[in-house]
Every structure is written in C-alpha cells, then in structure tokens.
Amino acid sequence: MNSSFWILLTACLVAVTCGLVGTFLVLRRMVLMGDAISHAVLPGLVGGFLLSGSRDPLVMLLGAGAVGVLTAWLTEWVHRSGRVDTGASMGVVFTFLFALGVILVSAFAGQIDLDPDCVLYGEIAYVAYDTVLWGERDLGPRAVWLLGGALLFNLFLIVAFYKQLKICAFDPELAESLGIRTATYHYLLMIATAITTVAAFESVGAILVVAMLVVPPATALLLTQRLSGVLILASLIGCLSAGLGYSLASAADCSIAGAMAVAAGVLFLLTFLFSPRHGLVTRAWFRQRSLLAEE
Amino acid sequence: MAGNSGKTIRFPREAKPERGAGAPAPIEVADLTVTYHRKPVLRDINLLIKEGGLTAVIGPNGAGKSTLLKAIMGIIPLASGEVRVFGEPIDRSRGLVGYVPQRGSVDWDFPTNALDVVLMGRYGKLGLFQRPRARDRETALACLEKVGMAPYAGRQISQLSGGQQQRVFLARALAQEAEVYLMDEPLAGVDAATERAVIEILKDLQARGKTVVCVHHDLQTVTSYFDQVVLLNLRLVASGPTESAFTPSNLRATYGGGLTLLSDVLETLERSGS
C-alpha cells in the first residue's frame, strides 16, 4: 500500500480519537489539561522505554495512562493543599514533567530512539516505514496499531459511560447527588487523554494533537446542539482538516502536521464567521435584513 | 402516610425520644460542622425536618444555606457530625432525595435540550451501563408537562428564558420521583408566572405527602409560601413552624437587623401581631 494512504489513515485516526475525548475536555473547560498531559507524558514514555527496553505499544500506553493520572492528581493536589490557582498549578506540574522528560531524553540519547523535535512536530511523512512485524509478516504501520488501540479505548469509554460523562460535564453537583462519582469519570477522561496524546504524538507531534483535541470540537459546538452530534461532527471535521491539510502540504511541499493544524484553524474561522446560528457574518446579515424589512 | 410507601426504610438504630414511635424523620442533622479551608461555614447544626413539610431555609448571604443542602446530599465533606435521611446514611437513601442545584451552577450553553436535561433526573435509577429507557422518556415528558414546558422539550437549553430554565430544573427533580426534595433558590430571578407555577408544584408535592426544603431569599413571601422555616447564619438560629419561628427577634438574630428590607418585613410581622 502506498505511503499517502497510510498518512491519511493515520491522520484520520488521530482526528477521530482526539475529537471524541477533546469534545469532553472542551465542554468541561479543561482544554489546557489536554495540552498539559500531552507534554507531561514524556518522562513516562522515557521511563517505560528504559524499564522495558523496547517501544512496545502496550508499555507506552500503560506508561502514558499512569502519567496522565499522575498529572491530573498532582495538579489537583498542588491546587488544593497549596491554595494555588488551578491554571498555575497545572502550568507548574506539566512544564516540570516535560522538562524532566527532555533531560531524560538527552541524558540517555544513545539508548533511546526518541527525538525531542519529533515529540513536538511529529514525522507523519515516514509513518508508513515504521511497521509492526509478526515474525516475517508486515502488519502495517506501528502508528496505525497504536492509534487504533487508543480509538477503541475512547469509543468503549464513551459508549459505555455516555450518560455519566454527559452529566459530569453538565451538572457535576447533580451527578454527585445521584451517587455518580465525578472523580472516577474525571480520571477516566484523563487516562483517555493521556493514551490519545501518546498514541498520536509520535506520528503527528504534540502541536497537532492539541489542535485536534480542541479545534474540531470547538468548531462542531458552533454547528450542532446535541452532544452526540458534536462528537460525530468533531470527528468528521477533524478528518476533513486532515485531508485538506495533506493536499496543502503536498501542493506546497511543507510540514504535513502543520498544514493539517492550519486547515483545522481555517475551518474553525469559516464556521465562526458563517455558522447558520452563531456565525458573526450570518448574524450581521440577518440583522441587516430585518432592519431593511422594517424600513 | 404515602411518604414511605414501597421503599424499604429501616428504623435508625437509636431512635431519639422526641420523635416518638413513628417512622424516622426525612432529614435529621446532628452536630453538623462543615469547614472550607479550615474556616467553619456551618457550625454545630442540629436539625430535624418533619415529613410532609414545606420548609424555607433563610439567612443572609454566606450563611451556609446552600452548604447545608450540599452537606445533606453528601456532595461535600463533613468536618464532623452526621446526616440521616429516613434514618439511613445518605449513600443508602439517595434514591429518596431529589436535588435542584442553583440555576447559575451549570453552563446553559451545553449542547443539549430540555428533555435531555430532565432525563438526567432518571440517571440515578439506571444501571452502570444502562441507557434511559422508553419509560424514562415518558416520565421525563410527563414532568415537563407538569411544569408547563412540554412544548419546549426539544428546545436547546440556551434558548430558554431564566424562568423556563428553572422550570426544567424543577421537572428534572420531579423525574427523580423522590420522597424529599432539596432545592437551592428555585425562585431566584424568575418571572411572576414561573413563581406561581413553582409554588403550585411545591404545594402539590406537599399534598402528596412529600417533604420539600427550599433555600429562599425573599423574606416577604416566607409566611405565604412555607409552613416551616429554618433560620441560619453559620449556626442554626431557629427552626420550626413558620408562625412560631419566623419572629422579629429570630430575624434580628439571623440578619443582625441592619437591612432596610428586613425592617419592612419586621413591620408587617409586628402589625399582624405575631
């Protein structure tokens, strides 16, 4: 199979995986938590790599989940016991963990096949050449397997606990009063975020991960008023951004991940201006027309 | 009477003498203290809410009224003391209590419609993986009908007026089909029509033997809407039937007597000779 196919498939898997979990982050006003976790998982990956001596996808996802929980818990702990503002405590925790990871990567550079540049920008162009081998058989790109696993995890989480995730996002007090433990679902969401970012960032980089977590859900929220609709639209808009970005990158011969993030931003801007209900231009146009009709 | 029907409610291990031989009270709060950053926000509260009462919880801003409801619901940690609902700890009696948070506590731009919000009241009755059933939808629609919001079932919640949003919250509590309802300011910032509709529903709940406790801010309407009153200012100032507890001296002890609004109420109370 050709390389374009694998690049597009990888990007679409990133888009859908991120869109699902990102929708809940946006609704819970925790977008920065996605940013924080996507950086904070680095020492977890290095640790997992040093301990197991391999880049086994399962070890990576487990390490990521653990560091995701740790980041969320540390942020909450610094915030609570130190009376530090949540944003500040998140900033302290994730920059510290990320920097720790950078030190680890550079200190063990000889032994670790992790490149700090790659962590931030990713190298989706070469996704097709890093494949999983089963004996003699080539089972396809590693990234596709990792992302497929993350996507299944997110899908399971959302299908199984849809009502809990929904009520915890909309009205956590009512959820608690009904005996639904909001902390449990908070940490499940953090684990999903960590797994998503780890699965995605090796191939597409942290910047596109953060863009895909936030921008398509924010765009979808301007277009639909049902939670299920937001989840589906965010996934589709993410895939559309990936496709448009890839065409742009091929035409202009530029960074593929960068072009995809730009495409997502442009789609958001267009929606922001022209969305039927909330669009700036649309509303101005309707106002103009009703004024004219009055005259 | 109808209060406990169909539910298994055990008697408390140590029945208190003043309650007599009857069933345990819907809400019993003993020596409750709640702290926030080590500062007490509720102190040594002892309170008994009678079955079938329509109770107003009043007190100045920051008196701990919402905190009292949240402590009873078990959604904030207690520094000390105990809360019992029908003689049981709250975790074993959640299905009997309906809760209406303050309207301002949620994001009304959330992508959902009125019917979906009311359906959330049914979530406590569903299993871990279970989705709302057709029966839950029917109940939710019937509850919307009761608050006069059935025509808005499919309406996105940000498109509703403040009063309509409050009615949706009330319908959601009704959908919980509880025995006790705790409501945080259900009459705050609503229009006159909604106020009448809400009061009608509260009276209807009372007529069906349910117990209702509302945080209330409007002292002018306490006597006409509520038959029981709890006066709170960090500590419990007084509680009991409105005619005996809603007195000028208790109000002064609760509010400090500085409010002009308070003097109006005191005047009316004194004129009516209570």
pLDDT in tens, B151-175: 999 999 999 999 999 999 999 999 9
The residue in chain A having the minimum alpha-carbon distance to the alpha carbon of residue B122 is: A178
* CATH of residue A125: 1.10.3470.10
The residue in chain B having the minimum alpha-carbon distance to the alpha carbon of residue A177 is: B73
CB spacing of A83 vs B37 below 8 angstroms: yes
- Can you read off the two tokens belonging to residue A32? 């920065």
Q: Is residue B47 over pLDDT 50?
A: yes
Residue B89 CA to residue A253 CA, distance in Å, equals 66
A80-94, B4-18, B200-214 — most confident range: B200-214
The mean pLDDT of A67-95, rounded to a whole number, is 87
- Can you read off the two tokens belonging to residue B133? 């059933």
Residue A249 CA to residue A246 CA, distance in Å, equals 5
DSSP reduced 3-state for A54 = coil
- Can you read off the two tokens belonging to residue B55? 């109770």
Contact in structure between A112 and A46 (CB atoms under 8 Å): yes
The mean pLDDT of A84-109, rounded to a whole number, is 87
Give residue A116's domain range: 3-210
| pLDDT score of B1 | 40
Strand pairing class (B211-215; B54-58): parallel
Q: Does the residue A220 lie in any domain? A: no
DSSP reduced 3-state for B141 = helix
Residue B154 CA to residue B245 CA, distance in Å, equals 44
Phi and psi at B47, nearest 5°, equal: -150, 140
CB spacing of B113 vs A180 below 8 angstroms: no
Q: Provide the β-strand partners of residue B49.
A: B27
Write down the residue that tokens 């606990």 correspond to: A161
The residue in chain A having the minimum alpha-carbon distance to the alpha carbon of residue B158 is: A225
Gyration radius (Cα) of chain A, Å:
20
| Amino acid residing at A213 | L
Question: Which residues in chain A have Cβ-Cβ distances shorter than 8 Å to B175?
Answer: none
Q: Is residue B2 over pLDDT 70?
A: no
Q: Does the residue A283 lie in any domain? A: no
Contacts of B193 (CB under 8 A, 6+ apart): B163
Contact in structure between B183 and B155 (CB atoms under 8 Å): no
**Residue among A84, A165, A174 with most chain B CBs within 10 A, to mutate:** A174
**Residue among A27, A158, A173 with most chain B CBs within 10 A, to mutate:** A173
| pLDDT score of B232 | 95
Q: Does the residue A163 lie in any domain? A: yes
- Can you read off the two tokens belonging to residue A208? 């596109």
Q: Does the residue A171 lie in any domain? A: yes
With an 8 Å Cβ cutoff, the interface of chain B facing chain A consists of 37, 70, 73-75, 91, 94, 97, 99, 101, 105-107, 110-113, 117, 120, 123-124, 126, 129, 131-132, 156, 172, 176
Query: B218 to chain A nearest CA, in Å?
Result: 24
> Where does the pLDDT of residue B259 fall: very low under 50, low under 70, confident under 90, or very high at 90 and above?
low
Query: B241 to chain A nearest CA, in Å?
Result: 28
Residue A169 CA to residue A25 CA, distance in Å, equals 9
**Residue among B37, B106, B113, B123 with most chain A CBs within 10 A, to mutate:** B123
Query: B136 to chain A nearest CA, in Å?
Result: 13
User: Between residues B250 and A138, which one has the greater pLDDT?
Assistant: B250
Write the residue in A173, A178, A230 that is nearest to B111 by C-beta: A230
Among A113-117, A220-224, B72-76, B166-170, the minimum mean pLDDT is found in: A113-117
Q: Does the residue A282 lie in any domain? A: no
Question: Which residues in chain A have Cβ-Cβ distances shorter than 8 Å to B107?
Answer: 27, 170
Look up the pTM and report it: 0.88
Q: Using alpha carbons only, give the angle B109, A282, B149 rounded to the nearest 5 degrees.
A: 35
CB spacing of B75 vs A178 below 8 angstroms: no
> Where does the pLDDT of residue B49 fall: very low under 50, low under 70, confident under 90, or very high at 90 and above?
very high
Q: Could you give the percent of chain B with pLDDT greater than 70?
A: 89
HSE-up of residue A240 (Cα within 13 Å, Cβ side): 16
Contacts of A288 (CB under 8 A, 6+ apart): none
CB spacing of A171 vs B73 below 8 angstroms: no
Question: Which residues in chain A have Cβ-Cβ distances shorter than 8 Å to B156?
Answer: 225
Residue B96 CA to residue B26 CA, distance in Å, equals 9
CB spacing of B94 vs A177 below 8 angstroms: yes
Q: Is residue A168 over pLDDT 90?
A: yes
Q: Could you tell me the sign of the dihedral formed by the alpha carbons of B254, B257, B262, B264, in that order?
A: positive
> Where does the pLDDT of residue A112 fall: very low under 50, low under 70, confident under 90, or very high at 90 and above?
low
pLDDT in tens, B85-133: 999 999 999 999 999 999 999 999 999 999 999 999 999 999 999 999 9
CB spacing of B126 vs A166 below 8 angstroms: no
- Can you read off the two tokens belonging to residue A161? 């606990």
Residue B162 CA to residue A20 CA, distance in Å, equals 31
**Does A171 contact chain B (CB < 8 Å)?**
yes
- Can you read off the two tokens belonging to residue A46? 């290095």
Q: With a threshold of 0.90, tell me whether the complex ipTM lies above it.
A: no
Write the residue in A171, A176, A179 that is nearest to B120 by C-beta: A171
- Can you read off the two tokens belonging to residue A29? 């006003």
Q: Where are the domains of chain B?
A: 2-103+185-271
Overall domain count for chain A: 1
Q: Using alpha carbons only, give the angle B143, A231, A157 rounded to the nearest 5 degrees.
A: 85
**Does A83 contact chain B (CB < 8 Å)?**
yes
Contact in structure between B97 and B212 (CB atoms under 8 Å): no
**What is the CATH architecture of B2-103+185-271?**
3-Layer(aba) Sandwich (3.40)
Q: Which residues of B17-30 are buried (b: 16+ CB within 10 A; e: fewer)?
A: eeeeeeebbbbbbe
- Can you read off the two tokens belonging to residue B123? 């979530």
Q: What is the DSSP code (8-state) at residue B270?
A: H
